Amino acid sequence: SAMAEGAPQLHDNIPGNVASHTELELGDLEKGFAEADLVMEKVYRTNTVHQGYIEPHSATAWWTPQGKITIWGSSQGHFPVRDLTASVLGVDESDIKVIPLEIGGGFGGKTTIYLEPVAAALSKKTGAPVKVSMSRTDVLEASGPTSGSMMKLKMGVTNEGKITAGQIELNFEAGGFPGSPVGGAAQCLFSPYDIANLRVDGYDVVDNKPKSTAYRAPGAPIGAFAVESMIDEICEKLSIDRLEFRIMNAAKEGTRRVNGVVNPPIGAIETQEAAKNHDHWSSPIEGANRGRGVATGFWMNGAGAACATANVNFNGTVNLTIGSVDVGGTRPGAAMQFAEVLGIPVESVNPQVGDTDTIGWTSMTGGSGAAFKTGWASYEAAQDVKRQMIDRAAMIWERPAEEIELVDGVFRHVSDNELSMTFAELAGEASGTGGPIVGSANLNPSGAGSAFATHIVDVEVDPDTGKVEVLRYTAVQDAGKAIHPSYVEGQIQGGAAQGIGWALNEEYYMAADGQMMNSSLLDYRMPTSLDLPMIDTVIVEVANPMHPYGVRGVGEVSIVPPLAAMANAIYDAIGVRMDTLPMNPASVRAAIASNNGD
């Protein structure tokens, strides 16, 4: 309605309430649709949802009489918090120290500032440390959810099942100020597939809602809901197996995406084939009103600047300081990559997140980039330690450094077996060979590596109430190299759980005057352990050639397939297509009634 002719204009400098227009195009769209035997068009809608992190926003600040500010808080990036707070308060960045605390979830919602400047200003006024915290109502009403959307999708396909063209108009709610994730959706929604002719128009629309911010793979789940739902419908019309269709059209190395990027080695087909070969896909689904859905998702992953410093203790342990906030296993992932270089037990590495005065500037933990960038920084810091320790061994043995090697945590001469010292033994000689050993690294790497996932879900729908029960869920994902498999599994399961909640229940209910009507966890319905089965995971490893260990980010793509997979499963169960989220009992029951002509 904010885009409708005659709608109230929210800002004088944003005519028509459209803050920006994203345009992406590939190939010849007219030619692509002309080659199609089947052309399908449909409108899809999603509503505003929140990230749902457990820990509300909170910040403590102390503005000293000397003009120095210390801030304690949890965020996804204490360096951006420092920089943004300095900008708001009009002070130098060097006058602010931000000490990162443990974070109780973020999912994109803690990538900006809310309370930090307020706490600092109040501290200056009172001359004492000040803590400011949000209630759950504050969090839901005043911190950024993700966008609601309206999408007009058109796809063309041959009778043999080859997608010839795709076109979509994306209209994303930004809330009170510009900045919806429409760009993320635009770049991701067609990317699981090799499609020669594409057009994407994305509109960032301001309206009378809370300002949106990032939510796990920002924009990608919304776009995938449209594309993957339509693919399911196309498969039915052409009588083609849903996974065979996806494999036939899957993106591969060399595929050019709509944003112009040419794919390096990727794992799209591998996740789809793993799903096809999984017993979940081949097992029978029995019983009335039960159905199975499938969907594939893509996320482009990100990186950014990262720093790491390693202090080698005389007993052979290492204190590893990194700049990335630990969201979902950053510390152990960095420690494992560090330890691998030196051949030492990971238990000997003590990872910690440094404050803004302790470690070099590091970009926020977002875009599924922490294991990639900070792991790489830790790898390089370990290489620095290795070089220094080889020099120390060469000094002790009076041999050229080129003749010293490190094998399985033991420094040794390449030809003289008498010359050998373990990592811990050599660390103990540091004082007498030049002093403490400190390795460091700073980098800003590219090549984070795209991520793909394919999910299968079984549901049962109660036709009388519209309630959807999730019976079984399997998530297949390419991790590049799973540095810490149990953490990777947890990331996959968490994203799938959030996606299921988004699909079935979550939404903002807004009154006509712009007030949120369900600003509590009693009324804003997120799934609990009672609502979900155990989510089975399959980790596929297609190495990212741009990382020393082949790492790809894993934290976000797992939320991309569930929205469409759930919709497709509901159709398979009751024969009703759901084109609007959430698919709560009332909306499912209404769709059943409409389908029956009631």
CATH of residue 94: 3.30.365.10
Tell me the sheet residues that pair with 413: 404
* Domain assignment present for 95: yes
Rounded Cα gap, residues 318 and 311, in angstroms:
6
Rounded Cα gap, residues 379 and 574, in angstroms:
52
DSSP string, 509-555: -B-TTS-BS--STTTS----TTT---EEEEEE----TTSTT-----S
* Domain assignment present for 234: yes
Please check the confidence at residue 598 and state whether its pLDDT lies above 80. Answer: no
Q: What is the number of helices (H) and of strands (E) in the chain?
A: 15, 20
Same domain for 34 and 117, yes or no, is no
Same domain for 570 and 457, yes or no, is yes
Please check the confidence at residue 153 and state whether its pLDDT lies above 90. Answer: yes
- Residues 6 or more apart from 286 whose CB is under 8 A from it? none
* Domain assignment present for 417: yes
Please check the confidence at residue 19 and state whether its pLDDT lies above 90. Answer: yes
Instruction: Look at residues 142, 166, 188 and tell me which one is the last residue of a structural domain.
Output: 142
Same domain for 96 and 29, yes or no, is no
Same domain for 276 and 323, yes or no, is no
Same domain for 579 and 533, yes or no, is yes
Per-residue pLDDT of 160-190, as tens digits, reads 999 999 999 999 999 999 999 999 999 999 9
Residue 429: pLDDT band with limits 50, 70, 90:
very high
Same domain for 195 and 331, yes or no, is no
Same domain for 185 and 312, yes or no, is no
Q: What is the pLDDT of residue 328?
A: 87
Rounded Cα gap, residues 584 and 561, in angstroms:
18
Q: Which residue range is the domain that position 389 belongs to? A: 306-443
Same domain for 368 and 485, yes or no, is no
* Domain assignment present for 1: no
* Domain assignment present for 182: yes
Q: Which helix (H) or strand (E) holds 271?
A: helix 268-277
Average pLDDT over residues 529-558: 97
Residue 512: pLDDT band with limits 50, 70, 90:
confident
Same domain for 250 and 312, yes or no, is no
* Domain assignment present for 6: no
| C-alpha distances out from residue 489 to 350, 496, 534, Å | 23, 11, 12
* Domain assignment present for 2: no
Same domain for 453 and 582, yes or no, is yes
Instruction: Look at residues 142, 171, 203 and tell me which one is the last residue of a structural domain.
Output: 142
Average pLDDT over residues 22-47: 99
Per-residue pLDDT of 83-136, as tens digits, reads 999 999 999 999 999 999 999 899 999 999 999 999 999 999 999 999 999 999
Per-residue pLDDT of 42-90, as tens digits, reads 999 999 999 999 999 999 999 999 999 999 999 999 999 999 999 999 9
Same domain for 128 and 149, yes or no, is no
* Domain assignment present for 237: yes
Same domain for 136 and 150, yes or no, is no
Instruction: Look at residues 443, 460, 494 and tell me which one is the last residue of a structural domain.
Output: 443
Number of domains in the chain: 3
Please check the confidence at residue 514 and state whether its pLDDT lies above 90. Answer: no
